[in-house]
Amino acid sequence: MEKTNSADYRAKKITQTGFVGIATNVLLVIGKAIVGFIAGSVSVILDAFNNLTDAISSIITIIGIKLAKRKPTAKHPYGFGRVEYFSAIIIAAIILGTGITSMVESIQKIITPTETSFTVVSAVIIGVAIVAKIILGLYTRAMGKKYNSDSLVASGVDAIMDSIVSAATLGGIIANLIWNVNIDGWIGAIISIMIIKAGLEMLLESISDILGARPEAEITKAIKADVCSIEGVDGAYDLILHNYGPDRAIGSVHVEISSNLNAEQIHSMTMRIQNLIMEKYHVVMTVGIYAVDAKEGKNYEIIRNIVKGFDGALGCHGFFINHEEKFLSFDVLVDFTVKDKPLFIKEITEKVLVEFPRYRIYINLDQNYSD
């Protein structure tokens, strides 16, 4: 039986959704183009052209998922999952180009308007198209969220936006039928602005994914909670996720454990963590260890209280102290408001030395990469 969380099943469902989008949009293009050319309406023709770009977007999504499924190679050992982000960028570029072109056409229509001739049948066809686009948009967006596909989510949002665009077109048709008012060029301009806005938003989101956007807090918190559910883990810190596509990632996490555990117990624990995170989140996880002596709980609490007094400090962990060698170290998690890190470390060190005089202090600053 095919697993619904497998990469192959995901690719299959995304491809199927893409074909549904292509078929629906081709039918809409035909219907709207006929209405637009018969009526001589730039807004309806632009609406049809917008649906054509949606069909092209679905084709690009299918090609993108096929390329993203390619197996890793020696040159690209992390696979080709990020191709999906480039697919979304191409779709956004097409939408932007469509919006700019339609804006030029609409301005020309405003400056030199031409006669339009609509019928009730035209209004009905556009009305049916609006309903079809809403259904397609909701379906595509839901499938995109379910299977973690930025391209599908983008296509779904774009389809919902198109239904609003078509509603504006329908408003122009109704105005022409009832009051014989020609606002075709103005409707086209409004449509163009909405298309350009949607294209820019999609482009910026896709670029953000490629640059390395912060993982969703819901996911990182869930991963940490699952790590802490493993017997022997007293805390999970320093979670980092490197995204190599919507369904694959490599990560690392540090866990606090009792210093009384032996090597065999630690090895067994880290294997359970890795297996759980891989099975549940499809993340290849490397596990680092902070061994904390339970007898040093009081000293650990002293350090925690000191760190709490500094703005920008989100917490501390990885506490280690050696009384014989007079050595003390710990990590401090900081947010992005901390600009002068050497000064920040110096000020904390001075506070710690008040409580632990003559100790060598080592403080490592961890950036807040997750939640």
**Among 141, 152, 188, 138, which residue's Cα sits nearest to residue 68?**
152
**Domain containing residue 109:** 7-211
Residues 56 and 149 in one domain: yes
Say how many domains are in the chain: 2
* Lookup: tokens for 288: 């680092």
* Lookup: tokens for 216: 């969703």
Quote the distance between the C-alpha of residue 161 and its chain's center: 19
Which of 191, 211, 231 terminates a domain? The answer is 211
Residue 135 lies in a domain: yes
* Lookup: tokens for 1: 């039986």
Residues 29 and 162 in one domain: yes
Residue 1 lies in a domain: no
- The whole-number pLDDT of residue 3 equals 47
- The whole-number pLDDT of residue 6 equals 65
Res. 192: pLDDT tops 70: yes
Mean pLDDT, the chain, whole residue set = 84
Residue 2 lies in a domain: no
Which of 211, 237, 270 terminates a domain? The answer is 211
Which of 165, 195, 211 terminates a domain? The answer is 211
Q: Taking the CB of residue 242, how many other CB atoms lie within 10 A of it?
A: 15
Mean pLDDT of 15-27: 88
pLDDT band at 37 (very low <50, low <70, confident <90, very high): confident
- The whole-number pLDDT of residue 1 equals 37
Mean pLDDT of 338-344: 92
Residues 201 and 223 in one domain: no
pLDDT band at 263 (very low <50, low <70, confident <90, very high): very high
Mean pLDDT of 179-194: 78
Residue 76 lies in a domain: yes
Pairing of strands 360-367, 249-258: unpaired
CATH of the domain at 360: 3.30.70.1350
Give the C-alpha separation, 191 to 13, whole Å: 31
Give the C-alpha separation, 223 to 237, whole Å: 11
Residues 120 and 261 in one domain: no
pLDDT digits (tens, 9 = 90+) for 152-172: 787 787 777 777 777 777 777
Please give the model's pTM, rounded to 2 decimal places: 0.66
pLDDT band at 2 (very low <50, low <70, confident <90, very high): very low
Quote the distance between the C-alpha of residue 118 and its chain's center: 42
